[in-house]
Amino acid sequence: MKFFFFHLMPYAHLDPDYDKTYATDWLLYPNSNYDPLKGAELYNRYLDEIEYADTLGFDGVCVNEHHQTAYGLMPTPGVLAGALSRRTKTAKIAVLGRALPLLNNPLTVAEEYAILDNITRGRLIAGFVRGIGVEYHASGVNPTESHDRFHEAHDLILRAWIQPGPFPFEGKYYHFDYVNIWPRPYQQPHPPVWIPSQGSSETIRWASTKERRYVYLQTFSPVTALFRYMDMYREEARKSGYEASPDQLGWSITTYVAKTDEQALKEAKPHIEFFVNKFLRMPMEMLLPPGYLSLSSMKGVAAAKAGLGRQRTMDELIEQGQFICGSPETVRRRLGEYQDRAGFNLVLPNLHFGTLPGDLTRRNTELFAREVMPALRDRLPAGAREKARA
Amino acid sequence: MAGHTETKHTLHGCSIHIMRGGSGAPLVYLHGSGGGGLWLPWMEDLARQFRVIVPEHPGFGRSDTPEWLDGIHDVALFYLEFLAAENLTGVHLVGGSLGGWIAAEIAMLDASRLKTLTLIGPAGIHVPGVRKPDLFLWSAEVLARRLFHDKAMGDEAAKRAVDPAGDDVRMKNIYTVARLAWHPRFYDPLLMKWLNRVKLPTLIVWGREDRVLPVALAQGFVERLPQAEIEIVPDCGHLPQLEKKDIFVERVRRFIAGSGR
């Protein structure tokens, strides 16, 4: 397994009673509730936590992108990645955003990523996403154009990286007479591309094809969904004429390690429940604007998300595999079990979540790095182990 | 009872569903965001005097969703082709809400086949400072309730809106509404500049208690269509043709009679 420390940078001072007045901490929750003095502390603390992960030997660190919310303070993740690019030394930096359809000029991302890739001498991992539904409310971009804009923006960026410029790009949403970006990416032909998703079959099919073979990341979802979508990826790869490698599959999983199971459960409970019940709170109309998913996907996802407003407990999250929590032994065992069933080789532990304080975040990160990672480093999924022996 | 028939018409690769009833001068009704496809009592009333033609827009209900459907102009131009294909002239064009917007676009682009224009709580024009509610953040149930001023009618509509039997059509319709109206939200900058080209006799009907498109938006139409008659219907929400049917039907008849039909 390879390990990528993942931080969501929430506004941890969110009023726990905000939901008595507001239905959500996204989009409509007034930003007068953001205190810049507290926010400045958080940014610096969070960046320290990510830099610390670099010194502890994580293979990479990850930032992400959401807009107009207390859930995460990284609307322009490139700025955070830029801050990290000079302070981290060995970890890859994965930007698990750039919501391409929201952009009027995707070349800005081609440029931004190329700069990061140069400064870090090739440590950049380029994430491309559509953004979750609420971003279409925040940006005004038409959600019915989301898939098409994503594909077109992606094609433009990849061509800008690979094809010698200047050349024209003729698309429906993006049309440029001159594509000729400076700098070009450091990694040739281009930085690795990762595609985080909640599990859209259209996205999985697109990412898995033979000519792309992009890394697919399953984000916050029950393990039943993880298994289904990783199977789907391998199946689509087979249809496309090749066998997907475990290194093409990643799982973003909130994780907490302490000396004993009891201690871990006790310490994590208020913070993981704050994360899921306060930060993630959002009405269905925000999460799934019309056209964000195809009509056929929409029905299934709407049914799956039906319990969105329901309060959830830590025990439920652990049972459904949305949270791994316990002693190093417990965490190692569960990661191993899930790896064997799902077949991923990339793990993106969210070692900070919700309101988890700085001292617990550091201890969690240390224990994970020292007591979990070494034992699993050379571990492959069950099927891949057999193949490696044969 | 005049009754009505239902047919299909295929144009530019798009099959649309059409209801027709009555005889006389053609009156074409363009439905709103909630969709069409129901032959309603007010249509029946007008069919006693007019040849009433009620298409379902591309992307709605039993009509196809064509590849070319990118925005409001596509729908307006499609209907101009439709009027030509049906060889309709002297048309009394009536549109409600989103359909009022489409009707205004049609009239702006080419009014040659039109005789009068009736806009019922139309979208299409933004009035600076007038804040529209965000329909895309409302559940289907909430939206249905807020269409009406009358509480009983709202409750009834809300009940229908959560019937799972209607899910597929509802999702198809709201998808198309987003396609046409997400951004800019329910208006067209081109229409704002050029609606004043329209010289047709025009009637604007607006429910005084409209909670979907507030009556203050009427000002945007009145400024651009100084010849328009305006009828603000008291104790009425977004759908005067349903909520105040008799007043609406009588007013449309009077308007058309007075326009030198």
On the question of pLDDT at A390 being above 90, the answer is no
Q: Give chain B positions within 8 Å (CB) of A290.
A: 136, 171, 174-175, 177-178
Q: Give chain A positions within 8 Å (CB) of B182.
A: 136, 140, 142-144, 289
> Is A49:A41 a contact under the CB 8 Å cutoff?
no
CA of B47 to nearest chain A CA: how many angstroms apart?
35
CA of A19 to nearest chain B CA: how many angstroms apart?
17
CA of B222 to nearest chain A CA: how many angstroms apart?
28
Interface test with A, best of B177, B183, B186, B188 (most A CBs within 10 A): B183
B7 near A CB under 8 A: no
Q: Give chain A positions within 8 Å (CB) of B172.
A: 295
> Are A298 and B171 a contacting pair at CB < 8 A?
yes
CA-based nearest residue in chain A for residue B135: A285
Q: What is the pLDDT of residue A145?
A: 97
A116 near B CB under 8 A: no
Q: Give chain B positions within 8 Å (CB) of A286.
A: 137
> Are B139 and A284 a contacting pair at CB < 8 A?
yes
CB atoms within 10 A of CB A387: 12
Share of chain A above pLDDT 90, in %: 91
Q: What is the pLDDT of residue A308?
A: 64
Give the mean pLDDT of A35-50: 98
Q: What is the pTM of this model?
A: 0.96
Displacement of CA A105 from its chain's centroid (Å): 23
Q: What is the pLDDT of residue A310?
A: 82
A–B CB contacts, 8 A cutoff, strictly below: 45
Q: What is the pLDDT of residues A58-95, one digit of tens each?
A: 999 999 999 999 999 999 999 999 999 999 999 999 99
Q: Which of residues 26-85 of B touch A (CB under 8 A)?
A: none
- Considering only CB atoms, A144 lies closest to which of B138, B139, B179, namely B179
Q: What is the pLDDT of residues A366-386, one digit of tens each?
A: 999 999 999 999 999 998 877
Q: What is the pLDDT of residue B94?
A: 98
Q: What is the pLDDT of residue B3?
A: 85
CB atoms within 10 A of CB A262: 11
Q: What is the pLDDT of residue A39?
A: 98
Q: What is the pLDDT of residue A387?
A: 77
Give the mean pLDDT of A320-334: 98
- Over its length of 261 residues, how does chain B's per-residue pLDDT go in tens digits? 558 999 999 999 999 999 999 999 999 999 999 999 999 999 999 999 999 999 999 999 999 999 999 999 999 999 999 999 999 999 999 999 999 999 999 999 999 999 999 999 999 999 999 999 999 999 999 999 999 999 999 999 999 999 999 999 999 999 999 999 999 999 999 999 999 999 999 999 999 999 999 999 999 999 999 999 999 999 999 999 999 999 999 999 999 999 975
Q: What is the pLDDT of residue A307?
A: 62
Q: What is the pLDDT of residue A298?
A: 78
Beta-carbon contacts of residue B44 (< 8 Å; ≥ 6 apart): B1, B2, B4, B21
Q: Give chain B positions within 8 Å (CB) of A291.
A: 175, 178-179
A198 pLDDT band, cuts 50/70/90, is confident
A171 near B CB under 8 A: no
B177 near A CB under 8 A: yes
SS3 call for B259: coil
Q: Give chain A positions within 8 Å (CB) of B186.
A: none
Q: What is the pLDDT of residue A89?
A: 96
> Are B183 and A283 a contacting pair at CB < 8 A?
no
CA of A151 to nearest chain B CA: how many angstroms apart?
17
Q: What is the pLDDT of residue B261?
A: 52
> Are B178 and A144 a contacting pair at CB < 8 A?
yes
Q: Give chain A positions within 8 Å (CB) of B139.
A: 283-285
B171 near A CB under 8 A: yes
Identify residue B190 by its one-letter amino acid code.
L
Q: What is the pLDDT of residues A336-362, one digit of tens each?
A: 999 999 999 999 999 999 999 999 999
CA-based nearest residue in chain A for residue B164: A299
DSSP assigned state of B99: H
CA-based nearest residue in chain B for residue A298: B171
Q: What was the ipTM of the complex prediction? A: 0.95
Q: What is the pLDDT of residue A81?
A: 98
On the question of pLDDT at A103 being above 60, the answer is yes
CA of B140 to nearest chain A CA: how many angstroms apart?
10
